[in-house]
Amino acid sequence: MQIEIERIAFGGAGIAKKDGKVFFVRGGLPKDVLEINIIKDKGNYAEAVIAEIIKPSPDRIETPCPVFDLCGGCQLQNLNYPAQLREKEYILKETLGRLGGLYDVAIEPIVPSPKEFGFRNKVTLSTWFYKGKWHVGYNQKGSNRKVAIDSCPISTDIVDKTIKRISEVLTSLGDPYYPLEKIHISSNGFKSQITLVPRHSRRGDLLKTLLKHLRRHQETENVSINGSGETGFEFSILGNKFLTTPSIFTQVNSEINELMIKTVLDWAELTQEQTVLDLYSGIGNFSIPLARGASEVLAVEISNNSVKLARKSAQANSVNNLVFQNAASEHAIEVLNKDEEKFDLIVLDPPREGAKEIIEGLVELSPTKVIYVSCDPATLARDLKKFSELGYKVVKVRPFDMFPQTFHIESIALLCK
């Protein structure tokens, strides 16, 4: 069957329509004319793969990654960068309209990543033993099967060198009995920090042997075992120091993260008399910078390890008007409402599932402004619709390209009473 791709869907597949049916084509790009093979027929839509490129999109390019066609890490390396940004803007606008009814909301142009490649400061590699040697890599596209790598072009140069060294060391050892499941790598721009994650607690002696082999090399000398005193490190953004470890969630694109923090601070327009509630606060990514302009900030985070690091970071920055609470956001909001607490500003950065369960309770706290940081257009649309129904106006939305070469979109929305 021959089709022409119209747009990119969230998820990275190309969208085509023919005879009243929608086709999602893996690897298809806008204006590609393709011969396709259907792999899943769902009635009114179907999933397909490319059998032949009859006429390539004018935006189609060669990819720098030799395993792009297999690897699930990137979906859009074959699409030039301006076209990636165009498609992401369209996805966000279409999703906010279709799912949120927000057809007239002001959506600003997407903020591009300063780096199209070499931006990722944090990766998690799967590890496995196959055909007499160890491999590191990622999941294949649409599968739990693995694809081996010894380099990753979207990683920072430091992280990429670390990946190469780990691959070399593991390959040279050849012992199939290392109880190794995955490896976390993080970089602060100067060095890498590595955490080995065991598959089980048996044969810990072998993992310690691997530790010694890795520590012989400059690229992999900062390595520890998860659950056995994982080593932390420090990085700085906008003059603020943050402590973290490779297994703790942090934003992977440092330059875009800095631009997002600046946006939150600009839109907050805080005065020294105002109070702030920061939900899903992590290691204090937003709450520490916000505390410098506010009367008091309460930061709520469910991860105990993140809270411990955030408290140390606040202390390192001499921030004394910031309280971290180790709790689920829904529980914290329930208690705050019982105590009849009020906040001038609420910032929330929920996981991909969004904040559906807490919106009504959040509104009871009567914030004048809400700043919603999102990593999923669909749940953002759903949640902004709910805020609108409860009396808040969506003033504007600014998308950010945190993850070039992928379908992912970060956005920040400003809501006011």
Q: How many CA atoms lie within 13 A of 377 on its CB side?
A: 26
* Farthest-apart Cα atoms in the chain, separation: 65
Q: Token pair 């259907």 is at which residue? A: 38
Task: Name, in order, each residue with C-beta under 8 angstroms of 144's C-beta and a sequence gap of 6 or more.
Answer: none
Domains 97-113+253-416 and 122-233 share a fold: no
Residues 157-184: tens digit of each pLDDT: 999 999 999 999 998 887 788 889 999 9
Q: Are 285 and 412 in contact (CB under 8 A)?
A: no
> Is the separation of the CB atoms in 71 and 138 below 8 Å?
yes
The predicted-structure confidence for 364-408, as pLDDT tens digits, reads as follows 999 999 999 999 999 999 999 999 999 999 999 999 999 999 999
Kindly indicate whether the domain formed by 2-60 is annotated with CATH number 3.60.21.70.
no
Query: What is the value of pTM for the model shown?
Result: 0.95
Q: How far is CA 260 from the centre of its chain?
A: 13
- Mean pLDDT for 62-70 is 96
What are the beta bridge partners of residue 414?
371, 396
Q: Could you give the CA distance from residue 138 to residue 160 in angstroms, rounded to a whole number?
A: 14
Classify the C-alpha dihedral 350-337-395-379 as positive or negative.
positive
* Beta-carbon contacts of residue 170 (< 8 Å; ≥ 6 apart): 127, 133, 134, 135, 136, 210
Task: Give the whole-angstrom CA distance, residue 356 versus residue 65.
Answer: 38
Domain ranges of the chain: 2-60, 97-113+253-416, 122-233
Q: CB-based burial of residue 1 (10 Å sphere; 0-12 exposed, 13-18 middle, 19+ buried)?
A: middle
Tell me the CA distances in angstroms from 111 to 84, 260, 385, one per residue in order: 12, 9, 24
Which residues are bridge partners to 333 per DSSP?
none
Question: Is the Cβ–Cβ distance between 132 and 119 less than 8 Å?
Answer: no
Angle between helices 157-173 and 204-214 (to 10 degrees): 130
Q: Could you give the residue numbers annotated as active site?
A: 375
- Which residues are bridge partners to 413 per DSSP? 372, 397
Does the structure show a pLDDT above 80 at 27? yes
Domain at 97-113+253-416: CATH code:
3.40.50.150
pLDDT single digits (tens) 78-124:
999 999 999 999 999 999 999 999 999 999 999 999 999 999 999 99
Over 90: is that where the pLDDT of 413 sits?
Answer: yes
pLDDT score recorded for residue 146: 96
Task: Calculate mean pLDDT across residues 185-208.
Answer: 88
**pLDDT tens by residue, 275-308:** 999 999 999 999 999 999 999 999 999 999 999 9
Q: Which residue type occupies 67?
A: V
What count of Cα atoms within 13 Å lies in the side-chain half-sphere of residue 183? 31
pLDDT at position 346 is: 99
Question: Is residue 265 left, alpha or beta, with left meaning phi > 0 and alpha meaning psi from -120 to 50?
Answer: alpha
Q: Yes or no: is domain 122-233 CATH 2.40.50.1070?
A: yes
CA atoms within 13 A on the CB side of 138: 18
**Nearest residue to 36 via CA among 21, 51, 19, 24:** 51
Rounded mean pLDDT of the chain?
96
Q: What pLDDT score was predicted for residue 287?
A: 98
The per-residue pLDDT for range 326-373, each reduced to its tens digit, is 999 999 999 999 999 999 999 999 999 999 999 999 999 999 999 999
Q: Is the pLDDT of residue 227 over 70?
A: no
Distance between CA atoms of 286 and 349, rounded to whole angstroms?
9
Q: Tell me which amino acid residue 374 is.
A: S
Model confidence pLDDT, tens digit, residues 36-61: 999 999 999 999 999 999 999 999 99
